[in-house]
Structures are given as C-alpha cells and as structure tokens.
Amino acid sequence: MQKARIRLLTLFLGCGAVGWLLVCYQASRAVWFLTEALLLYLTWAGTGAIALSVVGVLGLVWSATLFHGKAEFLVWLGLPFTPAQHWAVELLLNWLFAMVLIVKIALTNQWLQTKGWRRTKAFYLLAIVTSLGLNLVQFIRILLPSPSYL
C-alpha cells in the first residue's frame, strides 16, 4: 500500500506541475480541455495510449512554439544563452517531463491492475488523482493573488 501512495503522490505532483506550466503559458480553455481529455484517455487505456499521448504532447509543444514567443522559466537562472537557446531548452525540458509523466501514468495503471485492481477502479482512482493535480493550480490561482512568477 505504501508503494501505491508514493506512486499516486508522484502523479498528483506531476499533474500539478503540468497545470502550473499551462497557467504560466496562459493556455486557453481548449488546451486545458485537451490536456484533461488526454490524461483521462491515458488513465483508461494505460500502456496502449502511450503513442497517442506522445503525439498529443508534441502537438501541445508545437502550439506553444507557435503561439508563445518567449521563454519563461530558464531566463531567471542567468545562463549564458540567447533567447532562442532558452526557448529551445525550455521546450525540450517540457517535452521530456511530459514523456516521463505519460509513461508513469501508463505504468501505474498497469501496476494497479497487476495488484488486483479492476480496470474501472484503477481508472477512477487515477482519473481523480490526475484531475485534482492538474486543476489544483487553477483553484490556487483563483483563491490567491497571483505572484509575479505565475
């Protein structure tokens, strides 16, 4: 049971980080909806949804490239990069983070099923954890004044 809690906490925090990234990029409601739909599909299909999830994340990263023209996160580190290099590294890190999270969700779904959880019960548990993690940042942003880094 301890391993399950650690896995679920990791997914919750990972999805919270995704929500934070979407807030920082000022993502539209359509992007939030597509991200939520992608997470729900991944929690239902497990490892069978990895390929489609990778394509979805690539679409999000490409749309971020097209519609959000400046780097947000690595600039404050003071690295000796040009703005284009900051942007490229930031997109690469976002993509790598998304790939790790996709595989983690898919493998957690499979792991829960090998531990005796029915598919629907595992889906509901993962759907609640990932949705709460993703949307927690929106609730915090509504309740608290926005700091300069959000």
Instruction: Tell me the CB-side half-sphere exposure of residue 42, using CA atoms within 13 A.
Output: 31
Highest mean pLDDT among 46-50, 61-65, 103-107, 137-141: 103-107
User: Tell me, what amino acid is at 127?
Assistant: A
Can you tell me the distance from the alpha carbon of 14 to that of 105, in angstroms, rounded to the nearest whole number? 10
Can you tell me the distance from the alpha carbon of 123 to that of 120, in angstroms, rounded to the nearest whole number? 5
Instruction: Tell me the CB-side half-sphere exposure of residue 68, using CA atoms within 13 A.
Output: 21
**pLDDT computed for residue 147 by the predictor:** 53
**87: enclosing H helix or E strand:** helix 83-114
Name the maximum alpha-carbon separation found in the chain. Answer: 51
If we measure between CA atoms, which residue out of 62, 85, 65, 66 comes closest to residue 75?
85
Claim: this prediction has a pTM higher than 0.85: no
pLDDT in tens, 37-49: 999 999 998 888 8
Given a contact cutoff of 8 angstroms between Cβ atoms, the answer to whether 79 and 86 are in contact is yes
**pLDDT computed for residue 81 by the predictor:** 76
Q: Is residue 142 scored above 60 in pLDDT?
A: yes
